């Protein structure tokens, strides 16, 4: 009997769970890393999201493992090269563009971060909770008439562009891998061109060798002084030290990020440490895709892909 282990079962879709039950014996348990390494030798299929880094230590212990299923587009939490070397198939959302266009959670979170940052909502709420009522202290800015620069005009960038147009913003985008244009969006010939025209700069690119540290000191200096930066892609896309320097100097008026480098590592990330003492940086714990609706849809979709892989038949 095929043994399936789901290590992130909290609020997991009942429909997806039913599909997994039809494929084998399902165990659901939140495990520490030591517990996972102890348990993985008996597992054929591992269901993950982002709670663990699936590296060599886990894969070396996984004597029976055939498939890793991750309902994510980013796969930096899995050592893909070593998984391939171990003949472990990795199933993910990557490449399923038609399906992903129906998933709007990360785009909506991007827009929520932008509104929260420009209107200073988190800090105003903290002030009210502290017993204060200081309206002028938290005066914000309009979005209408400002220039939004979108780095990566894929399915998330598309949704964000539509929100921006609805808010009366002027929208620019840079994406060297997209051939067609979008109505209302001006395409830029280079990243530098996009940066120079962005009052708000938002990042929607996959993490790979080309995009690692894509945004560093030079790129941040190209933005207009007082610009805002939003990142709901991956932490490694930005040089975090350069981001802190830009915030401290006032070159950036503010930033909101949903992702940081080493999210599953030990120690305090420098952005988290900075945000604890400054009100120009807003952080959320990788919530982009974390809505009940999005997670239900993606969990069911990935369970169906697993069923197709194992049985050779499409699962409704």
- The mean pLDDT of the chain is 95
State yes or no: pLDDT of 267 exceeds 80.
Answer: no
| Residue 29: CB atoms within 10 Å | 12
User: Domains, the chain, ranges and CATH?
Assistant: 3-97+291-311 (3.40.50.720), 105-283 (3.40.50.720)
At residue 33, φ and ψ (nearest 5 deg) are -65, -40
108-132 pLDDT tens trace:
999 999 999 999 999 999 999 999 9
Among 27, 28, 108, 263, the active-site one is 263
Cα distance between residue 195 and residue 216, in whole Å: 12
Q: With cut-offs at 50, 70 and 90, classify the pLDDT of residue 268.
A: confident
pLDDT above 70 coverage of the chain, percent: 98
Among 8, 234, 240, 299, the active-site one is 234
3-state secondary structure of 157: helix
Among 17, 146, 159, 286, the active-site one is 286
How much is the average pLDDT of 240-249? 98
* pTM score of the predicted model: 0.90
Q: What is the DSSP-derived secondary structure letter of residue 188?
A: P
Annotation says 278 is catalytic: no
Annotation says 240 is catalytic: no
Longest CA–CA separation in the chain, Å: 65
β-sheet bridge partners, residue 4:
26, 45
The residues, any chain, with a CB within 8 Å of residue 113's CB and separated by 6 or more, are: 230, 232, 256, 257, 258, 282, 284
Annotation says 213 is catalytic: no
Q: What is the DSSP-derived secondary structure letter of residue 45?
A: E
Token pair 């999201």: residue: 49
State yes or no: pLDDT of 83 exceeds 70.
Answer: yes
CB 315 within 8 A of CB 20: no
């Amino acid at each position: 009997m095929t043994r399936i282990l789901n290590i992130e079962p909290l609020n997991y879709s009942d429909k997806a769970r039913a599909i997994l039950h039809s494929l084998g014996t399902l165990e659901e348990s939140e495990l520490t890393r030591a517990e996972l390494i102890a348990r993985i030798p008996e597992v054929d299929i591992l269901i993950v999201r982002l709670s663990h880094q699936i590296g060599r230590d886990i894969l070396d212990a996984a004597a029976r493992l055939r498939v890793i299923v991750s309902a994510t587009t980013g796969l930096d939490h899995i050592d893909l090269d070593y998984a391939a070397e171990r003949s472990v198939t990795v199933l993910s959302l990557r490449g399923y563009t038609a399906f992903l266009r129906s998933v709007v959670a990360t785009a909506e979170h991007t827009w929520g971060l932008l509104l929260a940052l420009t209107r200073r909502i988190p800090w105003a709420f903290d002030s009210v909770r502290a017993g204060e009522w200081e309206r002028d202290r938290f005066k914000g800015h309009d979005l209408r008439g400002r220039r939004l620069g979108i780095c990566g005009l894929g399915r998330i960038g598309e949704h964000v562009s539509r929100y921006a147009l609805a808010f009366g913003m002027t929208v620019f985008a840079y994406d060297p891998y997209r051939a067609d244009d979008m109505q209302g969006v001006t395409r830029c010939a280079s990243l530098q061109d996009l940066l120079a025209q962005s009052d708000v700069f938002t990042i929607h690119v996959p993490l790979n060798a080309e995009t690692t540290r894509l945004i560093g000191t030079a790129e941040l200096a190209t933005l207009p002084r007082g610009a805002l930066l939003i990142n709901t892609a991956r932490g490694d896309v930005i040089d975090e030290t350069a981001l802190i320097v830009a915030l401290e100097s006032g070159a950036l008026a503010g930033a909101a990020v949903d992702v940081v480098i080493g999210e599953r590592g030990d120690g305090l990330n420098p952005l988290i440490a900075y945000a604890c003492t400054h009100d120009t940086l807003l952080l959320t714990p990788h919530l982009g895709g974390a809505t009940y609706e999005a997670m239900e849809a993606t969990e069911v979709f990935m369970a169906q892909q697993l069923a197709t892989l194992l049985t050779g038949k499409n699962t409704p």
